[in-house]
Amino acid sequence: MNFGSLKGLNKLHLGGNQLRLGKAHDLNFLDSLINCSSLLVLDIRNNRLSGVLPDSMANLSTQLTWLNIKSNRIFGNIPSGIQNLVGLTALIMGQNFPTGNIPIGVGKLNEVEELFLGTNELWGQFPSSLGNISRLYELILDGNNLIGSIPSSLRNFTYMKFIDLQNNNLSGSLPKQLFSFTSLIELHVGNNFFTGNLPVETGNLQSLQTLNVANNKLSGEIPNLLGNFLSLEYLWLEGNFFRGSVPSAFSTLRGLQSLDLSCKIMSGKIPQYLENLSALQYLNLSFNDFEGELPKQRVFGNASQISVLENSKLCGGIQELQLPACSRQVSKKGGNISCFKSENLDN
């Protein structure tokens, strides 16, 4: 595993194998790559390589544009010297076991367009320095133990298309800057501890296809402005503290395929227009306080595509849902099953 003699090496692709040395020094071969001053691509993803990333990574070629080490068994801290790899356009290190903070110096990698540090064991504050990477279009930090609020410096992202911050311990309000990227296609912030209302700036996301804010502590009414997202296909709002009725503006979401409004404190009648959304394939209205007759057409006509559990004021619907007939007296007692995330920030 010595590549130092290959002075003209441009690209090294070793991904998708079962490479390992059987000890904690699997990554020492990276030391030999320091001599490869023309190296542009280093891809060792999807192997069984173990060990700590060596500090020598800081001395790899400054021409390196693509570094992909995801899906191995790498642990320890991310070397702070990674900030020296100023030519990187993609830094992909997810699905490993690194711990510690995200190095502040990552924010100096001004050419990075894709930053994937998701499904690791990183902890600490969300680095505000990431806002300096103005070319970034994909930010994946899900499945870590990040805490604190999202910094306002994210407003600097001009080309952002994908943001995934779900399954962390982030808190505070959702900054309006997060909803200011007109090119954004997917936004995932579910399974955190965000509070407050959905920002009114959500109306700016005209290209958005997926919005996931599930299982936080958001409150207030669901903004009618969500109806402006004509490209929206997946809308997951469950497990918050929203109140009121389903916005009438949802009737414009003709491309909506999945809508989850479960585990809230929502009430009123189920809008008839939901029956007319021909693309809708999944609808979850469980654990609310809806009332009245349930429609039977399209998504309402398939018990595998709809859930209305613990809505004791509903009646009618298809037989498989086992709701009472609307001619009968319906109990006004609601369900009491909790769907909310634990506040234990240590997990």
Please give the share of the chain, as a percent, with pLDDT higher than 90.
77
Pair 310, 265: CB distance under 8 Å: no
- 206-218 per-position pLDDT tens digit: 899 999 999 999 9
Q: Does the pLDDT of residue 24 top 80, yes or no?
A: no
Which domains can be identified in the chain, with CATH numbers? Answer: 1-149 (3.80.10.10), 161-347 (3.80.10.10)
- 27-77 per-position pLDDT tens digit: 988 999 999 999 999 999 999 999 999 999 999 999 999 999 999 999 999
pLDDT of residue 309: 96
Pair 321, 306: CB distance under 8 Å: yes
Q: Does the pLDDT of residue 141 top 50, yes or no?
A: yes
* Closest of 93, 85, 22, 31 to residue 51, by C-alpha: 22
Q: What gap in Å lies between CA 27 and CA 220, rounded to an integer?
A: 50
pLDDT of residue 338: 52
One-letter amino acid for residue 70 of the chain = K
pLDDT of residue 195: 97
Cα separations in angstroms, 158 against 25, 177, 180, 201: 40, 11, 9, 16
- The whole-number average pLDDT for the span 136-140 is 97
Residue 157: band (very low, low, confident or very high) from pLDDT cuts 50, 70, 90: confident
- 260-291 per-position pLDDT tens digit: 999 988 999 999 999 999 999 999 999 999 99
Beta-sheet strands, E only, within 21-122:
41-43, 50-52, 66-68, 73-76, 90-92, 97-98, 114-116
pLDDT of residue 346: 43
Q: What gap in Å lies between CA 111 and CA 50, rounded to an integer?
A: 28
